[in-house]
Structure 1
């Protein structure tokens, strides 16, 4: 059964969702929409026995649970099942973010056989996946005959717990929820808002990355749920006061970490494998290859092709996008020429060029055109790069000018989200400037190194029962939709006056 999150919900979560939305939402129609679209199967409406006893009512992923089942048909095969959830991002037309989608599938936890008295006991392991409230069913002859509830709580681990300024801090999580209330988590550093944590495409498993900032000493990192885009602070008075609210202390030590140096991180893996680009259309017998399929602006690329018309001139056409979402003038595809070359007598071509100064994000298509007709195509992706940062040190009040190349244009890669010492400051858009991000930051803070970090995020989404827009996505390396945009790490040294 498929559960688009904005259309329907599992019956067992419906009451909780209504309470949350009624308690803290200004969107009055949202509750009505969810409740009106609840679907129930005939089987769900049947009266099931309360004949399953568990050794615990809640726990964590991979916990071992003992069970006892009674009132079964004697000497019959039986199985315990529950409603596992698969999550994914919906991205349409290569650039539009609709939002998350969840699909329910019933999985078997364990199987066995009842004894002569209709009893069955044993154990099972809580499977990896989303956390939240689940129903465990006992089935015989393919029919559900009993049920019991079980709650999977999220778990959190921070590594390392100390290090100098610039140290990469990783917070690993399992069992994050998929329901509206438990889907989004927000992180603060020393009571300053930093960014968003999600595990949508990774089914509740997440890995957030930040860097240690501030003067030597202890610094507070807090995680709280917050489906409206900010932490829900008085959670003990919410409909879910029993949910975890993890706090960590990180100790900044003397010195600086190796990661203090300006760098663009390695390209991560996009959620669900990223968007699927249209299939390339090559004429029969034509093959086109690039020495590299991605690179930063100005880096060298060699294109080779075979099967082209012999001794003809080929023009290499670079396809890109131009326009703006906010100007009212719209946007569309434009083409530029990378140059032309002569095909040899055997129909082969070798052509060297530099990665164009253009939009990053999803790949660009290159067309090989002979006599006005496209013979071959290939894709080239432009990666983000730090072009300049001036100056790199100075007293408080210094204006720091930074230029980044390779920003994207879609709703998932056209913007970067800036933090200064782990405090979210604002966002930058690259579409209107053809991938160029030039901006300034004012140096603040005590003498020493201060962090300037750019994170990927979601610029816009169609359905927002949980708001994930215009926020640094700290789980960018495992759960960012559409394309694999890396984080960009920089630092400025504040000096004495």
Structure 2
């Protein structure tokens, strides 16, 4: 090692410090310049008026709806006082009816308890932990609409599995409250007998969720595990993570003899989409025109009746079906296209009735049907196509049997263009419906011991722009309450392996 004398060394150190100070000053200036003026004002005010540590809680953590005793000191005597909490609200952000941006959260202040300080400036009582997201929260005490003290409180998630036993095909529901909203605590991952099954979320339901799977495997006990995992898989050594104190629930489900009554192939009823689903563009109707369908959703080839009134009298009306065509992976792009279903003449009163079958087309968000006369749109309505099982053959056979399956009514958006397949609760891959205009035709090889084996298709998110957490290309087991965009149902199939 070469020796550097003291004087040259000192000069070198001073030069380096000067460079670092200049760089730091520039960085601080850039950071400050990018902050809104209001932000700087808030930070300055927070610095000048530090909050007191004057709130004592009976416990520092707990679960949703727990009762917590509190005592506050150093208050203005005999003056009104309130305890408040920073609640979080979640939703999915979607652009242009099809693109998933990702989860979005907003914060609001809610009142936990109100009262009056006593003559000594003290106040005590009990508050209930609000229903909502879990995680770390701040409890503030306020007087004259001003925060004067604070304390932290942690809400832990809770988990309940129902039922705990049943035959193959039994629906298992895991109910959760207090799931987190932060990056690390937002996504939970479920395994069944050490096989990855899918994603558990509660973004739009503010921490409350229900995950649904079906009991699969031989008679006996089967292990179900839930762990956090913001990168799309379980974080296994969670005890060595930055959050080793968080719950890591394990359950055992006991499979009994026989098969569940719901073992037959079926598409579940359409659930409720997250936050009530997408708000479709407002339909345009000419003056006095009314358009109605006998039902606003149905499966391919299901009979539908269209009725309309207030149209031009004795006039030919073209029924124009709007759809999307294209592909996300071919490089050719995609866009809206139209096709003529038929032309129908109105009667002398400007009314029409038209019976037709649901077109063999994309499912997911609704299609618009235009009623056009002489090139002008007179009225519109929406029709949504639901998934349906068209083919499943054979239903039984030995190991190695190739099972042919066709589903119609798959979607095209980033939240409904794909289904995610599990075999006996092991995730195997996804199926995309856009390029095939809603048709999903595929095969599965029968494996496993003699008996029934489950093939389940779950909704999920194909793509998202926000990359802080990975929710893409995996089954979303909380699809029934927290799937964004459109209410896509799960599809339940079963194959019997014979000798």
Q: Same fold (TM over 0.5)?
A: yes
Q: Which residue of 2 aligns with 1:80?
A: 83
Give the superposition deviation at 1:371. Answer: 1.5
Rounded Cα–Cα distance in structure 2 between residues aligned with 1:143 and 1:191: 52
| Residues 190-218 of structure 1: per-residue CA shift (max 9 Å, x gap) | 00000000000000000000000000000
Residue 44 of structure 1, CA deviation: 4.2
The CA deviation at 1:269 is 0.5
- Counterparts of 1:106 and 1:343 in 2: how far apart (Å)? 57
1:241 is aligned, of 235, 240, 244, to: 244
TM-score after normalising by structure 1: 0.92
Q: Taking structure 1 as reference, are residues 249 and 44 closer, same or farther at Cα in structure 2, changes over 3 Å only?
A: farther
CA distance in 2, matches of 1:318, 1:291: 17
Mapped to 2, the partners of 1:70 and 1:290 lie a distance apart of 64
1:170-200 superposed Cα distances (whole Å, 9 cap, x missing partner): 0000000000000000000000000000000
2:313 aligned counterpart, secondary structure: coil
1:123 aligns with 2:126: yes
* CA apart distance, 1:412: 0.3
Q: Which of 462, 478, 483 is the equivalent residue of 2:481?
A: 478
* Superposition pairs of residues 302-341 of structure 1, within 5 angstroms: 302-341=305-344
Deviation at 1:340, TM superposition (A): 1.2
After superposition, give the CA deviation of every residue in 1:417-447 in whole Å (9 maximum; x if it has no partner). Answer: 0000000000000000000000000000000
In the alignment, the residues of structure 1 paired with residue 229 and residue 342 of structure 2 have an alpha-carbon distance, to the nearest angstrom, of 51
- Higher mean Cα deviation, 333-342 or 88-97? 333-342
1:229 partner SS:
coil
Q: Does 1:93 align with 2:93?
A: no
In 1, Cα distance between equivalents of 2:73 and 2:320: 71
Query: How does 1:58-457 map onto structure 2 within 5 Å?
Result: 58-457=61-460
In structure 2, how many angstroms separate the alpha carbons of the residues matched to 1:121 and 1:277?
49
Matched, 1:464 2:481: no
Pairs aligned (count): 462
Aligned counterparts of 2:35 and 2:179: Cα–Cα separation in 1? 24
What CA distance in whole angstroms lies between the structure 2 residues aligned with 1:395 and 1:464? 43
Rounded Cα–Cα distance in structure 1 between residues aligned with 2:190 and 2:314: 61
Per-residue CA distance 1:321-366 (angstroms, 9 max, x = gap): 0000000000011111111111101100000000000000000000
**What is the CA–CA distance in structure 1 between the aligned matches of 2:153 and 2:492, rounded to whole Å?**
42
Superposed displacement of residue 37, structure 1: 8.4
TM-score (ref. length: structure 2) = 0.91
SS at match of 1:110: strand
Alignment-derived partner of residue 27 in structure 1: none
Report 1:46-61 matches (<5 A). 46-61=49-64
Aligned-residue offset at 1:374:
1.1
Give the corresponding residue for 2:491. Answer: 488
**RMSD (CA atoms):** 1.3
- Deviation of 1:259 after TM superposition, in Å, equals 1.3
Q: Secondary structure at the match of 2:262?
A: helix
